[in-house]
Structure 1
């Protein structure tokens, strides 16, 4: 092997290690890889431009931007209201059917976010028995079509780069439908075994409010009872934090001191009565934020907040919002909210400022669950235009009358000129991380070829694995891709495994398509971990699940999923 080949192979291995070590920063890992590839001269200018403007990647970005408009329509929300009924079985079947159908054509993160609200507020069934099946159904539905999940589109972008042609729109449908039926059956049998956690939502009657006794406050030196803090309307003093000490429950005779943090629980609408107490400063009410609406969000894995405290990172300046409450693993985190270390999957309630809607970093750090949304909902003709235009664009692509990239480009232009979406909204929600990951991964594949690593790998396969049945290496490809998915997320796993899978196929001198399809399906098969797929992360905190819940329900679903894929892919896509 040449020096360039050794260096490229080393960078590939270091990328895998980096993704495992820094699971919440895949974009940073691929960004570092980009600098190394360019810095060491392993790729040229033409390859960089070709990777950044890959037609499959452009199609993926256009489709994700167009799907933002569909999130602003009310059709899915109207259907969601009809899902939950008194019968658990009927509710489960309706939920599974609606979720899989919508996820086959829409962004599954938006589908889950929309359906979570009626599940959490339903009067018939415990939300924890429906939320995890909701996430799994969204994953399964995404495997049915080319546009059902970003993973399929990412694999398609690599396939276009390799062969010069796109995968057909319904190329995933045969195996995908079998996955929906098979895994859906197993999911239905095991869903009843899910525990019933008490999932009272953090709503307007259960917020935790952080206040501080200011220096020179007349409250200092007097008891809680004497200050009138025991008789507030719909607000209750639950904790007093003094230095490193936390006092709970709070006795009426507790003497307050300057610097004490007072933690109240109760109706957020009644919080303004705390303004009547001179010298009591509210943590989340600077600039009057608490007088505005509230929004509930989940912290993304790639958020800059992960591992940081609210105070240390300057949360208010960064997002023009204040954290009212935090929930993690089914527990309400009280105390000094500004000193809480944020983790991926934390559930935050935000009081937002005027500029919150205009910030470009909101969607990159949070998954919106309910409350204030950055965009306004569509109505009337624009709503019908949004839905009808998307259906027409997809039909044109399916029938072959127009390329998917061209139809999505025209549709996006129609959305912009009709006012269905603004350029600012598109800039805020532009999937920069996905664009970076996929383009750099394509660039890495160029380096693997030009440096000779791809040829070397193919020769090794021919030399040492030529006597093996292709099926066994196909099985190995599935297992490795699936393990990477659970560890480094689905998109990164697909990007890393595609060149290896193609190299295996070429080394065995068989068609690459079965290996390509196995990578696509395996990269979407995240059922055991809440951190491998965004929808799992969304329901993890809201449903108050434990890791063991994902394991108990996810293992039988994952095994069924894997068996169907490795058995049926060779039948529909022969070697």
Structure 2
């Protein structure tokens, strides 16, 4: 082999080694791979430009960006509030069905993130009995369609680059459906082996947010549980102030009454979740300040508001700002926000007016920390547009009426035009890691071809092209991809193993699709390690699991998953 071939293989080996050693930094590893390939002259400028503008990759990025609008609606949260009931088996089945369905068309990480809080805060069941099934269900749901998981779209991106063709929307559906049914049955019976871990209750850590229930609010007359107030993401209802009295802790069966003050604790960036409830007014909202720039400050020792309440200081008139939330390290804040006596060192989040920056008393009273950008929500016609537009685009693409990439471009334009999404949100949530991983590995595949490694491997395999070895090669490819998924990440495994699987198929002179689909399914088969798939890592921390919990349930699921894939792929995609 020429020198370029050895150099390419060396970079490939370093990439795999880097992913194993630096599991938490795949972006840095692939960034180094991209720089090495370009710096060593192993790829052309045209190949570099083609890799970063690959149609499959652009489709994946557009899909992620458009799905942000759905995350901002109440859709998933309303559904989440209906999933959990007193009967565990009914809850389990509802959770599994909803998660697999939504994960087939939405980013499964977003689906799991939305359902985490309702499960963790539910009053009926140990969250540890539901969180692991939640992650596994999202993985299985992702195998149902082309857009169900980034893994499928990454494989499709590379398939387009190699063959000029694209997989269809339903290429994965037949095998994915069998996986959902068989692995779902195994999960159902194995869930009894999950531990019963008591969930830590919400504490006073985080910002305290005061919200008033208006007389005409839809919350009035319904319980905390029925209103979905226990199903918020990173916000916890810790107190209710009612007619001068304090209700704490708050029972799920507590009925909301007019003029109640609901005291929440949690992340200030999740503040605008409260906007989804009609007739719930946040302390700063009545002055029209809530959608203004939010700024985090610390009260100085010499501040004139120290020792006084916000109500008595005339805070808005003094600073042209309204206090949205307060946090006090080492102590608990309680009661209505306006009645809290301010201390030096208190953290405040302010919704500031146009005159705020010109006030000369700001720096005398506060240390300014930073701006705060809350995660916004959309409702009304914008919410319906986002939901309807996304579902319509997916359906039209699935039936072949509209190209998916073109449809997503039109949808994203509509979301921006109606301000359902903003440019700053797109910049902040742009999936740089996925873009870098996919474009780097496409470049690596080009380098393997340019240097002659693919031809050499094809000639080597051609010496053993007995048809009886093809299925053995498929099994070995599955095992190698699955191991890389468990020890590295699913996206990296799919990206690195695709060129190997594609080359093996060419070497045997058979159809490449069985090997392509095997890589895609194997890369999504992460059930034993909490680190191989992002949703596993999310529930690993949230559910306080141990590694053995993943092994006990994940091992039988992995075995059944592997058997289904290795039996069904040759049937649905013959050699």
SS in structure 1 at match of 2:82 = coil
Match of 1:412 in 2: 412
Question: Is this contact kept in 1: 2:333–2:340, CA < 8 A?
Answer: no
Q: Distance in 2 between matches of 1:88 and 1:430?
A: 38
Q: Distance in 2 between matches of 1:44 and 1:191?
A: 51
Say whether residues 1:510 and 2:510 are aligned partners.
yes
Q: Distance in 1 between matches of 2:9 and 2:386?
A: 46
Match of 1:450 in 2: 450
- How far has the Cα of 1:269 moved from its partner? 4.1
**Compared CA separation, residues 53 and 264, structure 1 to 2 (3 A):** closer
Match of 1:14 in 2: 14
Question: Is this contact kept in 1: 2:159–2:166, CA < 8 A?
Answer: yes
- How far has the Cα of 1:454 moved from its partner? 0.6
**Over aligned residues, Cα RMSD in angstroms?**
2.5
Say whether residues 1:107 and 2:107 are aligned partners.
yes
Say whether residues 1:530 and 2:546 are aligned partners.
no
Q: Distance in 2 between matches of 1:86 and 1:265?
A: 36
**Compared CA separation, residues 540 and 275, structure 1 to 2 (3 A):** farther
Count the aligned residue pairs: 441
Question: Is this contact kept in 1: 2:80–2:118, CA < 8 A?
Answer: yes
- How far has the Cα of 1:356 moved from its partner? 3.2
Match of 1:172 in 2: 172
Say whether residues 1:355 and 2:365 are aligned partners.
no
**Residue deviations 1:242-299, cap 9 Å, x none?**
xxxxxxxxxxxxxxxxxxxxx9877454899998788xxx5xx5xx24x579xxxxxx
Q: Distance in 1 between matches of 2:429 and 2:207?
A: 30
**Compared CA separation, residues 269 and 472, structure 1 to 2 (3 A):** farther
Question: Is this contact kept in 2: 1:204–1:268, CA < 8 A?
Answer: no
Question: Is this contact kept in 2: 1:159–1:165, CA < 8 A?
Answer: yes
- How far has the Cα of 1:469 moved from its partner? 2.4
SS in structure 1 at match of 2:83 = coil
Match of 1:439 in 2: 439
Match of 1:472 in 2: 472
**Residue deviations 1:25-84, cap 9 Å, x none?**
111111111111111110111111111111111111111111111111111111111111
**Residue deviations 1:387-427, cap 9 Å, x none?**
11111111221121221111111111111001110011000
- How far has the Cα of 1:16 moved from its partner? 0.6
- How far has the Cα of 1:354 moved from its partner? 5.6
SS in structure 2 at match of 1:355 = strand
* TM-score, L = length of structure 1: 0.73
* TM-score, L = length of structure 2: 0.73
Match of 2:492 in 1: 492
Q: Distance in 2 between matches of 1:87 and 1:265?
A: 39
Q: Distance in 1 between matches of 2:343 and 2:407?
A: 60
Q: Distance in 2 between matches of 1:49 and 1:277?
A: 57
- How far has the Cα of 1:440 moved from its partner? 0.8
Say whether residues 1:550 and 2:566 are aligned partners.
no
Question: Is this contact kept in 2: 1:375–1:425, CA < 8 A?
Answer: no
Match of 2:392 in 1: 392
Match of 1:133 in 2: 133
> Tell me, which stretches of 5 or more residues in structure 2 are unaligned?
209-247, 249-327, 352-367
Match of 1:559 in 2: 559
- How far has the Cα of 1:530 moved from its partner? 1.0
**Compared CA separation, residues 468 and 268, structure 1 to 2 (3 A):** farther
Match of 1:145 in 2: 145
- How far has the Cα of 1:538 moved from its partner? 1.0
Match of 1:78 in 2: 78
Q: Distance in 2 between matches of 1:396 and 1:186?
A: 34
Matches for 1:293-332 after TM superposition, within 5 Å: none
Q: Distance in 2 between matches of 1:507 and 1:481?
A: 19
**Compared CA separation, residues 129 and 424, structure 1 to 2 (3 A):** same
**Residue deviations 1:290-312, cap 9 Å, x none?**
x579xxxxxxxxxxxxxxxxxxx
Q: Distance in 1 between matches of 2:141 and 2:435?
A: 23
Question: Is this contact kept in 2: 1:292–1:353, CA < 8 A?
Answer: no
> Tell me, which stretches of 5 or more residues in structure 1 are unaligned?
210-233, 235-262, 294-351, 358-373
- How far has the Cα of 1:114 moved from its partner? 1.2
